[in-house]
Amino acid sequence: MSVKSAGNLSTLFDLGGIIGGVLAGYISDKLKARATTAASFLYASIPAMILYRRYGSMSQFMNIVLMMIAGLFVNGPYALITTAVSADLGTHSSLRGDSRALATVTAIIDGTGSIGAALGPLLTGFLSSKGWDAVFMMLIVGAFAAGLLLAHLVVNEIKEKFSKPMSGGVEEKNDAAGSADEAHFSEQGQ
């Protein structure tokens, strides 16, 4: 593969990431579960990378499709982690709405990402001399570790979801019926 073709192919990873970012944001908004969405995308990136390593060289079409799928799952949760999760952490009740704390949390998350962005290529260069399987193993371990780091937030989101009454349930219907009865009786009393 020529250098130009490799460069063009690598942009497909970013294109998949753009699609993944929009998709992750949409799913996160629908489910109201940012950390769970981000962790799910990170864990889905593991089989995507395994498939890419195993089948990406079969044909140019497979290479393109699998590269975009890997980008979707690897880069998709990035926006959730850097913006939404940092906003959640920065507005935590223990910080009492301190806007400077939000800026500090965001800077820590972005700074940590920058350290990873600086060290990633160095480690990749070192591991690529041992073979591409080592590089893909590093990426898989990194995705798994990132998912584990979100585990506490995921557990809290799930606990919160199960502690709330389900919408449209018996309690809501009884409350609605009670409100209608109260309104009816107050109208008759006037």
Count structural domains, the chain.
1
pLDDT digits (tens, 9 = 90+) for 102-142: 777 778 878 887 888 898 889 989 998 998 899 999 999 99
Task: Tell how many helices (H) and how many strands (E) occur in the chain.
Answer: 9, 0
Rounded to two decimals, what is the model's pTM?
A: 0.74
What percent of the chain is predicted at pLDDT more than 70? 78
Q: Is 175 a domain residue?
A: no
Predicted local distance difference test score (pLDDT) of residue 21 = 94
pLDDT digits (tens, 9 = 90+) for 68-104: 999 999 998 887 877 766 666 666 776 766 677 777 7
Query: Domain containing 9: what range?
Result: 3-165
Single-letter amino acid code for the residue at 113? G
Q: Is 187 a domain residue?
A: no
Q: List the CATH number of the domain containing 16.
A: 1.20.1250.20
For residue 82, with 0-12 CB atoms within 10 Å meaning exposed, 13-18 middle and 19 or more buried, which class applies? middle
> Token digits for 90?
């920065």
In Å, how far are 24, 33, 178, 179, 182 from 72, measured between CA atoms? 9, 18, 48, 47, 52
Predicted local distance difference test score (pLDDT) of residue 3 = 82
